Amino acid sequence: MSDKSIKTKNRGKKLNSTSGDIKIFSGSSGIGFSKKMCKYLGTELGDSEVINFSDGNIFLRIKETVRNKDVYVVQPIGMYPNDEFVEILFWMDALKRASANSVTAIIPYFSYAKGDKKDEPRVSIRARVCAESIELAGADRIVTMDLHSAQVQGFFKKPVDHLLSMPIMCEYVKGLTIMDNICVVSPDAGYAKTARRYADYLGVPVAIGDKTRTAHDEKAKILDIIGDVKGKNCMIVDDFSVSGGTLIEIANALQAKGAKRIIACLSHAILREKGMKAIEESPIEMLIGTDSVKNPYTMQSDKFKSVSVAPLFAEVVGRIHAKESVSTLFSTQVPKKVVDEI
Q: Give CA–CA dist 129/136, Å, rounded.
A: 11
Which position among 23, 69, 211, 232 bears the catalytic label? 211
In three-state secondary structure terms, 157 is: coil
Q: Give CA–CA dist 25/69, Å, rounded.
A: 12
306-320 burial, b at 16+ Cβ within 10 Å, e below that, comes to: bbbbbbbbbbbbbbb
What is the DSSP secondary structure assignment for residue 213, as one 8-state letter? -
Q: What burial class does residue 113 get, using C-beta atoms within 10 Å of its C-beta: 0-12 exposed, 13-18 middle, 19+ buried?
A: buried
Contact present, 107 and 161 (Cβ < 8 Å): no
What is the DSSP secondary structure assignment for residue 31, as one 8-state letter? H
Q: Give CA–CA dist 237/229, Å, rounded.
A: 15
Q: Give CA–CA dist 88/30, Å, rounded.
A: 11
Q: What burial class does residue 302 get, using C-beta atoms within 10 Å of its C-beta: 0-12 exposed, 13-18 middle, 19+ buried?
A: exposed
Strand order in the sheet with 48-52: 4-8, 48-52, 58-62
Contact present, 49 and 63 (Cβ < 8 Å): yes
| Catalytic residue status for 36 | no
* Number of other residues whose CB lies within 10 A of the CB of residue 95: 27
The catalytic residue positions are: 211
